Structure 1
Amino acid sequence: MMRSRTVWATTALLTVTLGASMAPAVAAPATAAPAAAVVCPTGWGSLGKTYLASATTSVTNVRTGRHDCYDRFVVDVPGASADRLGFSVGYVDQLYQDGSGRPIPVGGGAILEIRVDAPAYDVQTGASTYPGRVAQPLPGVDLAGYRTFRDTRYGGSFEGVTQFGLGVRARLPFRVLRQADHLVVDVAHTW
């Protein structure tokens, strides 16, 4: 009888010990917070934007950049103060070259015409300050991997105004920023 109690006690102890070790583990609460979602600005709108002024310096370069919420188009006008940098930016059905009226094809779902009130030539000598060729893609601008931008075209420079065509995926909201030495056009990835 003693032997059966010992076997029974040993079996019971073994069952409790094994049962405890085989119990499912309780997951510890997560300590890392989930990554914050990027909140993109809204309210820019897609209507044309204009600021009347004239720069006394010339356009020298165009560059682009990719951001989380928008693609950026920058026209460099060294020496131009923000208050003297005039522009007209808006969606058009077709880009027409200033002066000649010649149509310039621009790829994409919509065309944004960017006109900067600064020449792309030296006003004293007439020498070109920007290497763009009319109706051709902008030199040095590669749009591979952009979410919104599709194409760029140079419209030329006529009577102190330099013109660009920017092909975008669709008619999307945009903003224009005047800064010392350059004009910035940001086109949102979505509404």
Structure 2
Amino acid sequence: MFLPPKRSLAVLAVPLVSLLAAPAAATPVPSHAAVRTAMRTAVHAAPRVATLVDVRASHHPGLDRVVFEFRGPLPARRGAGYVSRLIADGSGRTVPVAGDAILGLRFGGAVGHDNKGRPTYGPTRETFALPGVIQVVNAGDFEAGLTFGIGLSRKASYRVYTLTHPSRVVVDVKTPYRTVPVRTYFLDSRAYAAGRRPYTAAVSRPVIPPSTARGALQRLFAGPTQAEHAKGLRFVASAATGVRSVVVRDGVAHVRLTGSLRSGGSAFTVADEITPTLKRLPGIRWVKIYDASGRTERPKGHSDSVPESLEP
């Protein structure tokens, strides 16, 4: 066994009295200026969260542009990619989005509400009358993360980049296809309230030929734009959740809807929007609307028809 030399023990033998007698070092009290400086340093060191203040979209030559504007810094993390469906943060439920393709977006280190939980930007679901972009839908504002889905008329290449002063995330979606204008009919709530016919008003929408009937109904189910909504236009869904199929044969458009259709006792239903929308298209003279089970009152012949569930 190894033992240290005895002289090392003498070195370690410090009298206890000398330790107790040593005066305690004085702890300096920080000045007010030093405290303020430390607080400012802590605030600047804490990560800042981007706050979404606006979502807008517009068409430019060859592309549709969606802009997410933030107050403060840019979101710390940004991701984009096509998804088969849009999932709500937290609940995991599917969020409906109008369009044949959904471009999903995720912003980390960002919020869309203030300290009282109030939204800091416009509607969480907004429709646009653009060739490619149909809707922009929020699917989550959860734990400093924002999730969005952009509903598109067709899957296309895209580019995501950032701009500053102010902070913006920009999404450019290519539109390398031809569109034609169609007329889509919504309920005119002001005319309906006044009992003044017609109860519908038409707006123009771009759709990709040759599937103009399907494209027109896709735009109908997306609803009115913000400007159109401000004028009193509304989409009455009658509990329909979408269009499963549209088949035009011998002048008759056969439209099969999804969802639990019901009129709710109203004399105005989704059929009153679908029928004039389709009858303005070439080659369609009659419209037959079917429920999710494929039922309609007059399935045969040259006539209009609705399922019994849409009767008042």
TM-score where L is the length of structure 2: 0.38
Q: CA deviation at 1:129?
A: 1.7
Q: Which residue of 2 aligns with 1:50?
A: none
Counterpart pick for 1:70 among 48, 52, 63: 63
2:143 to 146, 159, 163: 159
Matched, 1:190 2:176: yes
Q: Which runs of 5+ in 1 are unaligned?
A: 1-53
Residues 85, 183 of structure 1: 8 Å contact kept = no
- Distance in 1, Cα, partners of 2:48 & 2:95: 26
**Match of residue 207 from structure 2:** none
* Equivalent position of 2:113 in the other structure: 121
8 Å contact kept, 1:98–1:158: yes
Query: CA separation in 1, counterparts of 2:60 and 2:95?
Result: 28
Q: Provide closer, same or farther for how the CA distance between residues 55 and 87 of structure 1 changes in structure 2, counting only shifts above 3 A.
A: farther
- Does the 8 Å contact 2:55/2:122 carry over to 1? no
Question: Which residue number in structure 2 is paired with residue 61 of structure 1?
Answer: 54
Give the secondary-structure state (helix, strand or coil) at the position aligned to 1:159. Answer: coil
The percent identity for this pair of structures is 32
Structure 1 residue ranges (4+ consecutive) displaced by more than 2 angstroms after TM superposition: 124-128, 130-133
Deviation of 1:79 after TM superposition, in Å, equals 2.1
- Structure 1 residues 31-70: aligned runs within 5 Å: 56-70=49-63
Aligned residues: 128
The 8 Å contact of residues 176 and 184 in structure 1, kept in 2 or not, is answered as yes
SS of match in other structure, 1:100: coil
Matched with 1:80 is: 73
- Structure 2 residue identity aligned to 1:94: R
* Counterpart code for 2:149: G
The residue type equivalent to 1:148 in the other structure is G
CA distance in 1, matches of 2:138, 2:104: 10
Residue matched to 2:128: 143
**Is the contact made by 1:85 and 1:178 (CA closer than 8 Å) also made in structure 2?**
no
Aligned-residue CA RMSD in angstroms? 2.1
Tell me the distance in 2 between the aligned counterparts of 1:170 and 1:55: 37
- Match for residue 45 of structure 1? none
With the length of structure 1 as denominator, give the TM-score of the two structures: 0.61
1:126 & 1:87 partners in 2: Cα distance?
Answer: 23
Tell which has more relative contact order, 1 or 2 (C-alpha 8 A, sep 6+): 1
Q: Is the 8 A contact 1:106 1:153 kept in 2?
A: yes
Q: Which amino acid aligns with 1:86?
A: R
1:92 to 53, 61, 83: 83
- State the Cα distance separating 1:125 from its structure 2 match: 4.6
